[in-house]
Structure 1
Amino acid sequence: MIIPVQSCVHFSCHIFLILSFFLVHTSSQSLSDQEHALLLKIKQYLEDPLFLSHWNSTSSHCSWPEITCTTGSVTSLTLSHSNITKIIPPFICDLTNLTHLDFSFNFIPGDFPTPLYNCSKLEYLDLSGNNFDGKVPRDIDHLGANLQYLNLGSTNFYGDVPASIGNLKQLTQLKLQFCLLNGTVAAEIDSLSNLEYLDLSSNFLFPTWKLPWNLTKFNKLKVFYLYGTNLVGEIPENIGDMVALEKLDVSKNGLTGGIPSGLFLLKNLTSVYLFENGLSGEIPSVVEALNLVNLDLARNNLTGKIPDDFGKLQQLSWLSLSLNGLSGVIPESLGNLPALNDFRVFFNKLSGTLPPDFGRYSKLKTFLIASNSFTGKLPENLCYHGMLLNLSIYENNLSGELPESLGNCSSLLDLKVHENNFSGNIPSGLWTSFNLSNFMVSHNKFTGVLPERLSWNVSRFEISYNQFSGTIPSGVSSWTNLVVFDASKNYFNGSIPKELTALPKLTTLLLDQNQLTGTLPSDIISWKSLVTLNLSQNHLSGQIPHAIGQLPVLSQLDLSENEFSGQVPSLPPRLTNLNLSYNHLTGRIPREFENSVYASSFLGNSGLCSDTPALNLALCNSGLKKTSKGSSWSIGLVICLVVVVAFLLALLASLLFIRYQRKRKQGLDNSWKLISFQRVNFTESTIVSSMTEQNIIGRGGYGTVYRIDVGSDYVAVKKIWNNRKLDKKLESSFRAEVSILSNIRHTNIVRLICCISNEDSMLLVYEYLENHSLDKWLHKTVKPGSVNKVVLDWPKRLKIAIGVAQGLSYMHHDCSPPVVHRDIKTSNILLDPQFNAKVADFGLAKLLIKPEQLNTMSAVIGSFGYLAPEYVHSTRVSEKIDVFSFGVILLELTTGKEASYGDQHSSLSEWAWHHILIGDNVEELLDKDVMEASYLDEMCTVFKLGIMCTATLPTSRPTMKDALHILQSLGEPLFYGEKNFGYYYDATPLLKNSKETS
């Protein structure tokens, strides 16, 4: 059969098509099988984790949720949030068509995984939130020309941002935030002309670096974040050429100069964060960035007026201009902005009256205008929409009555109107406003009487220096959350009700300069938490109750200028301030107060006497008087006295010799020296002879601790060493602890009673705290049957957090020079019977002789989980390393987990940050054993404060004074910035004086 040529051609085409289809199908089938096998190999490499149990040989890999296939081939692999602890499989790029790779938020260790250079088609790479360390590789451009997205944030990469980064021309997003970068950023980065998102925030970039880039080239950049990177210099004028810019955050740097006018001409701009820099000059008056939502220029040196054009910003929700030098009036148009819910201008030089429509047209939540010179009345409609949370208007010249509408503002958490000229009665509903925590109206001209009922949530009730009158109501017993009650300088009369002693959390009671009468309540022994008591300048009478000496933490007592009579009772041993002057007291003053420190404490009591002239009181033994028998009798008396003294001296010498012999027999030679820091009722022999095995209560790297009975009480004794070849580090530790504790007097710092030493050993004798250390309660190491973790409920934990914060704040801000502890951890927090916290173990402490300078230690000393990253990497010492450790303790208190929670590569702080950065619900992270609905907000706030305190960048952490204020002012919301998990909060701890934070 002859086939025509044309037919042959058609026949050949059919054969070719069939063969081609067969070959392609076979090739595709082969690639699919290869990729399937490779994915199972990855699973095996990761040791068959449970989360990949659905990866098996029977199902199609393209159906697995971690895999995306395109035309039957794997193009995307996502294994994020999977607790992976091994390095990335070195054969991962055998998936030849891979374009998208996400291993974010695992625990992957080691250097940058350079095998990824073999993924030639890679467009998207996310390795953030891992434990990578080492430097960003100089050949990182080997990732390929196709790469568009690179995220290495929240890792431990250090060093430079290399020049080769500029060769990744297709990059649209580059994220290197929250690393340990401490070098320079290459100028070649401005070659990334397609870049839309750049984030280098929270790094230790080379000090005093300036923007080396031509910002004009970033004409596609929408998000520009350099928060907390040691950036200095001026903001370049050509920032106005970044025409696509939407979000700018260069806050917490050292920028100086003015704000370029071109910045506010950018049409697409929605968020600007420039806070905490050194910017100066006036705010640009022309504002055309009408889409602005968030504008934060706080904590700079800005002057001049608030621009009228701000009234055009119809989308503006957040406006913070606080802590500057702004003057003039607030433009009335700001009160009409429809979206404004957060307005902050405190600590400026603003004046004039407030726009009357504030709150009328927007759902105002925060109104902070404190420390200015505003006059006139407060706007009537601040709580018009019922959402006002925080009203801080203290230190102004505002007058008139508080708006009646505030009485219906049930959302209000903080009322701080002190130091103004307000008058009239407090709106009736305000006393009982359900959520109100801080009620601070001192230094005004308010009148009226106290109500029987007060909001159950109020913790700070400060009404001093007003014109309130009447009696203190018996209903005060229901004010159960009250911590501070300050009603000084009013017209209160009547007696102090016994119901006032029923307040379990009360730490400060100030009722001085009133017209109170009667005696002190007999039940004051109930004031277990009371630290400060001032009842001076009243008409109180009767005897001072002996129970006052049993108040466990009372340190400041002022009962002066009253009509108290009788003897001075036994007083609390921890008193640092005492004033009983100008009463009718009689008898001998207690011996422990017979020194010049208390020279003014007992004046004006003609019936008191002392054995020392240092107190300016009559001497209890005024000497022998002559009698009519004449001088012969006196001479005889002198002779008798000489004989008696000689006899006593001989007797004393005999006793000393006997004691010396006894000591030698017991092996206790007379080389022991005791240096006392207060009156003691024991000798060095009592201590040394009791240091036996059965009295040991603890051992540590810096010594053995004993509990020793000294008669009426117990003391804790730390034996630092017992080797004649003295360890210099231990000797230095001992000297440091003695030097620091002997000069520190604070109710939240363990009290050093004395030190005892000889050539071989040194002993520190402390007050003994029977509830031991916090870790034994928090982490279930207390013996079962006696106590258990449930006893440490949330109120106790919050009390402990505040106590630790008070102790550290005192060390950092009130000691001169400041003291950095360097080893803050739960085992160094001791608890007294009322669970008051005391900071202990100062063996590692460092005195910052120059507070403005970082001190560098020769080696890192401390405990895993509590060490701040900058201390580990550079051994730099500042107060912020204590803040980091304190933050870890807050995380322990709120989660119940230990500081070392995680694996060998991670800790509790890293775990917490990991969950926050991925957007987990905070409530799910809290300790279920103590979490109750009524405590939930407090626990969330304390957890978030723990996150703040453990920020990687030291400058991003609050000071201890700030942290203490937040803890004491729970109920005041912490506001999130939309960036970097940055927090914004009322800056009242930075007040010009300490009235509010005392």
Structure 2
Amino acid sequence: MEAHRSPPEVVLTLLVLLVFVSCFARAQNNPLRNNTERSALFDLRSSLGLRAKDWPRRGEPCWNWTGVACQNGRVVGISVSGLQRTRAGSVNPQFAVASLANLSLLATFNSSGFALPGSIPDWLGQSLSALQVLDLRSASVRGPIPQSLGSLGSLHSLYLSGNSLTGAIPSQLGQLSALSVLNLSQNSLTGPIPQTFSTLSNLISLDLSSNYLSGPVPPGLANLTKLQFLNLSSNILTASIPNQLGQLFQLVELDLSSNNLMGTVPVDLGGLRSLQKMLLGNNGLQGSLSDKLFSNLTRLQFLVLSDNKIEGDIPGVLWSMHGLRFLDVSGNNFTGVLANLSWNVNSTNTMFNLSNNLFYGALPTSLGKFSLIDFSGNYFQGKVPNDIETNASLNRNCLQSVMDQRSSEDCRLFYAERNLSFDNFGAPSPAESSTKSNKRWIFILAGLFGGLGFIVLLVLVLLLLLRRCDKRIASQREIANVGPAPEGRSPLPAKVSINSSGVGELFTYEQILHYTDGFSEINLIKHGHSGDLFRGILESGAPVVVKRVDLRALKKESYMMELDVLNKVSHMRLVPLLGHCLEHDSEKLLVYKYMPNGDLSNSLYRVTNLEDDNLQSLDWITRLKIAIGAAEGLSYLHHECSPPLVHRDVQASSILLDDKFEVRLGSLSEVHAQEGDSHQNVITKLLRKPQTSEQGSSGTYNLH
């Protein structure tokens, strides 16, 4: 039998293991050993004009330089996203990164949000053979995309969105066999989509939206069997939608909106069984929709077919899709009688926009339980169901006892063309109307001869004043929408936007869990009355703030108001919303851009650091700049939005500051529209005390 080890032997064994683990950990984070790479980093520090606070002169780059990642004493990653230049470095910023060519093992370069004015140099694709992630989003880059980028054989993520890139997309990008994410959106690129993209077999996300790309959608994109996100919206693409796209069985989001696409919606798209979001609005699509198109799309949540020329009935299978949350078929030629909509057990979160079509007949029952409906601009007749409240827009129909309806002649003619009867709004016959009119005159004459002339005169004056007020209110209601309303279409209610699906990028719940480490306490910034705020890091390395909204503890109207404001208004003085997640009924997630300088309450009390290149406390020029920025944001809400928006929670913690101390207003969940037809309601909203967030640490976000 083996003897037990003595205590000294156990202690010695533990010491050996401790030394081994310590040496191994140290090896993973060794100081920079390569003098060439050290010189390259200091050259990059000088050419970009980075502050000593972020890249200190005497600090070890692998340990003390923000955004520098090393492995075994070699530089493998650089991120200048969120960093600031010194005052001298901000005078004439350029795309001055030539020293990167000496970092032979560099795998990641992230400059998103950090201005690098100039063109992408050709050497970048020739010298950085180990590069895996290149992120130049919103970096002020201009000029063409160099063909040499097609030589980066290890590249799996390429982000060039939000710049001023011009020219055609190089076909050489089709050689990037390892590429999984390609984002070239929001540029000025022209020409066709390269046919070589059909060979990018590992591509998961392709975003070419908001450019000037022309020609057809390449059928070869059907070869991208791993593709989950395809966004080609806001271009000038022509021809029809390829049937082959129906072979993308992993596709979750398809956005072809705002192009010049023609033809019918292919039945083959019914093969997209993983699809959650189909956006085909604002094209020239025609024909009718087949039931087969939607019979297998059981995961579909968002369907937008607005502003096309589609006709016929809406497929009945759509009304039985329990996962459908947003349906917009406005501005088409759909017709027919709507089915009973009481099937949807989760209808409280569902929004329908069927406006400006040719629907007729009675309104469906159980409309009151839907989140928002817009049936305006059709030919519905009869009485309005009792359960409908303010969540419905029903103007320009043929309904009884509802303001702003079509003329009786227009409705009668429409129904006559279809050999249908029309009940004439339930109005009395001409004979009955004439009898009542005669009685009215008799009473008026009797009143005059009875000595009540003076009272009648006062009543007439009051009626005249009321009528003048009604005209003014009607005029305000016609423009009562944030931003211009499309021609020929009625604006939606000012409280809630029906187009909430278009707010930023659609994230999955699993993605946001990964970004925030499962909403860990370490990443918790603060508790707000409308949601908790968490720090997060996107796959590209860009920092974000995730707002977690619990609808069980928050009124849905507050969440919808915030989403409505972010959707309808766009201004440089409002906090940027990057995306959202609507997968869970009781929990909604909003992803905001990270503001490096926190809020004003923190920046006002910063202490000057003499070792840095720049003052950390706010000088009076910067304070004036912040004051002007806050005033510009409030002026936009008050004077440039229609109806005017009232912030109601302006305080230092709701004024956020980006890397250049530019103001971004937060706390948008407290914003309310000033309604022109209710002075008492306006005063109530102005004087109502907004809810404030729980006390958090200084400098944290107040997005509410």
1:794 maps onto 2:555 in alignment: yes
1:879-917 CA-to-partner distances (Å, cap 9, x unmatched) read xx3544638999xx999635x7224xx3135xxxxxxxx
In structure 2, the partner of 1:360 is 271
> 1:137 aligned to 2:30?
no
* AA matched with 1:886: L
Deviates more, 1:445-454 or 1:315-324: 445-454
Structure 2 CA distance, aligned partners of 1:802 and 1:356? 33
Partner of 1:236: 146
Q: Tell me by how many angstroms 1:388 deviates.
A: 0.3
The whole-number CA distance in structure 2 between the counterparts of 1:236 and 1:807 is 36
CA contact (8 A) 2:142 2:165 kept: yes
Identity of matched residues, %? 23
Alpha-carbon distance between aligned partners in 1 of 2:73 and 2:283, rounded to the nearest angstrom = 51
Match of 2:653 among 865, 868, 881: 865
Question: Contact conserved, 2:331 with 2:356, CA < 8 A, in 1?
Answer: yes
- The alpha-carbon deviation at position 207 of structure 1 amounts to 4.0
Question: Is 1:492 matched up with 2:406?
Answer: no
Q: Which runs of 5+ in 2 are unaligned?
A: 1-7, 39-49, 410-423, 429-436, 441-457, 476-492, 496-527, 531-551, 575-598, 602-626, 638-649, 673-688
* Alpha carbons of structure 1 residues 843 and 358: separation in structure 2 relative to 1, 3 Å: closer
Deviations 1:773-830 (A, max 9, x none): xxxx969xxxxxxxxxxx99534644774797799779999xxxxxxxxxx999xxxx
Q: Is the 8 A contact 2:227 2:251 kept in 1?
A: yes
Does the alignment pair 1:845 with 2:638?
A: no
1:247 to 154, 157, 162: 157
CA shift digits 1:702-753 (9 cap, x unpaired): xxxxxxxxxxxxxxxxxxxxxxxxxxxxxxxxxxxxxxxxxxxx999xxxxx
Secondary structure in 1 aligned to 2:172?
A: helix
List aligned pairs for 1:314-713, cutoff 5 A.
Answer: 314-380=225-291, 381-382=293-294, 384-429=296-341, 432=344, 434-435=346-347, 437-454=350-367, 456=369, 458-474=370-386, 476=387, 479=388, 483-493=390-400, 495=401, 511-513=404-406, 587-589=460-462
Aligned to 2:66: 152
How has the CA–CA distance of structure 1 residues 190 and 427 changed in structure 2, closer, same or farther, with 3 Å as cutoff?
A: farther
Q: Separation in 2 of the partners of 1:235 and 1:463? A: 46
Q: Distance in 1 between matches of 2:179 and 2:237?
A: 23
Query: Is the Cα contact below 8 Å between 1:167 and 1:191 reproduced in 2?
Result: no
Report the counterpart of residue 897 of structure 1 in structure 2. 693
**Of the candidates 153, 171, 175, which is equivalent to residue 75 of structure 2?**
171
Q: Distance in 1 between matches of 2:34 and 2:128?
A: 28
Q: Aligned-pair distance for 1:847? A: 8.9
Change (3 A) 1:412 1:796: closer
CA shift in 2, pair 1:73/1:882, >3 Å: closer
- Residue 415 of structure 1, CA deviation: 0.6
Shift of 1:70: 5.1
Residue by residue, what CA displacement relative to the aligned partner does 1:126-163 show, whole Å, maximum 9, x if unpaired? xxxxxx974543758x747xx6x99834xxxxxxx9xx
- Name the aligned partner's letter for residue 175 of structure 2: L
Higher relative contact order structure (alpha carbons within 8 Å, sequence separation ≥ 6): 2
> What SS class does the counterpart of residue 319 from structure 2 fall into?
helix
Structure 1 portions without partners, runs of 5+: 1-24, 33-59, 64-68, 77-96, 102-115, 124-131, 154-160, 497-509, 517-536, 542-562, 567-584, 603-745, 749-776, 780-790, 814-823, 827-840, 852-861, 910-945, 948-998
Using the TM superposition, name which of 282-291 and 385-394 deviates more.
Answer: 282-291
Change (3 A) 1:258 1:887: farther
> Which whole-Å CA distance do the structure 1 matches of 2:131 and 2:691 have between them?
40
Deviations 1:257-282 (A, max 9, x none): 11110112322221111111121121
Equivalent position amino acid for 2:287 in 1: G
Secondary structure of the structure 2 residue equivalent to 1:215: helix
Look up the match of 1:279.
189
Q: Distance between the aligned counterparts of 2:654 and 2:405, measured in 1?
A: 43
Residue type of the partner of 2:29? H
- Note if contact 1:327-1:348 (Cα within 8 Å) is conserved in structure 2: yes
**Aligned residue in 2 for 1:978:** none
Count of aligned pairs = 490
* 420-429 vs 591-600, which moves further: 591-600
Q: 1:431 to 1:325 in 2, by over 3 A?
A: farther
Structure 1 residues 294 and 379: CA distance shift in structure 2, 3 A: farther
Inter-partner Cα distance in structure 2 for 1:432 and 1:260 = 48
Between the aligned partners of 1:378 and 1:437, the Cα distance in structure 2 is: 21
2:66 aligned partner, one-letter code:
L
Q: Does 1:313 align with 2:224?
A: yes
- Quick check: 1:71 aligned with 2:23? no
Cα separation, 1, equivalents of 2:247 and 2:27: 54
Q: What do residues 677-712 of structure 1 show as CA deviations (whole Å, max 9, x unaligned)? A: xxxxxxxxxxxxxxxxxxxxxxxxxxxxxxxxxxxx
1:100 match: 29
> Secondary structure of the equivalent of 2:203?
coil
CA offsets per residue over residues 570-600 of structure 1, 9 Å max, x none? xxxxxxxxxxxxxxx9600479779999699
Mark the CA change 1:293 to 1:74 in structure 2 (over 3 Å): closer, same or farther: same
Which amino acid in structure 2 is aligned with residue 908 of structure 1?
A: Y
Once the two structures are TM-superposed, the CA of residue 366 in structure 1 deviates from its matched residue by 0.6
Letter in 2 for 1:177: S
- The change in CA–CA distance for 1:324 and 1:385 in structure 2 (over 3 A counts) is closer
CA–CA separation in structure 2 for the residues paired with 1:811 and 1:223 = 28
**Distance (Å, rounded) in 2 between the aligned partners of 1:293 and 1:345:** 17
SS at match of 1:309: helix
Q: CA offset at residue 118 of structure 1?
A: 11
Q: Which runs of structure 2 are paired with 1:742-821 in the superposition (5 Å)? A: 794-795=555-556, 797-798=558-559, 801=562
Check conservation: 2:77, 2:107, Cα contact below 8 A: yes
Quick check: 2:573–2:629 contact (8 Å CA) kept in 1? no
1:297 aligns to what? 208
1:864 deviates by 3.7
Displacement of 1:389:
0.3
In the alignment, does 2:171 pair up with 1:261? yes
Aligned-residue CA RMSD (Å): 5.3
Q: 1:843 to 1:369 in 2, by over 3 A?
A: closer
Distance 1:272 1:408, change over 3 A: same
Structure 2 SS opposite 1:868: strand
| Conserved? CA contact 1:169–1:194, under 8 Å | no
Contact kept, 8 Å, 1:449 with 1:468, in 2: the verdict is: yes
CA gap 1:391/1:151 in 2 versus in 1, 3 angstroms: farther
Structure 2 contact 186–209 (Cα < 8 Å) conserved: yes
Structure 1 pair 467–152 and aligned structure 2 pair: CA distance change class (3 A) = same
Correspondence list, 1:220-235, <5 A: 220-235=130-145
**Which protein shows a greater Rg?**
1
Report if aligned partners of 1:202, 1:228 keep a CA contact under 8 Å in 2.
Answer: yes
User: Is the contact made by 1:462 and 1:485 (CA closer than 8 Å) also made in structure 2?
Assistant: yes
Are 1:908 and 2:690 matched, yes or no? no
Structure 1 range deviating more: 364-373 or 257-266: 257-266
What is the CA-CA distance between 1:425 and the residue it aligns to? 2.6
Return 418-427 or 314-323, whichever deviates more: 418-427
Q: What CA deviation, in whole Å up to 9, does each residue of 1:661-688 have, x standing for no partner? A: xxxxxxxxxxxxxxxxxxxxxxxxxxxx
CA distance in 1, matches of 2:368, 2:203: 38
**Counterpart-to-counterpart distance in 1, 2:660 and 2:193:** 39
State the one-letter code of the partner of 2:693. K
TM-score, normalised to structure 2, is 0.58
TM score, norm. by length of structure 1: 0.42
Alignment match, 2:668: 886
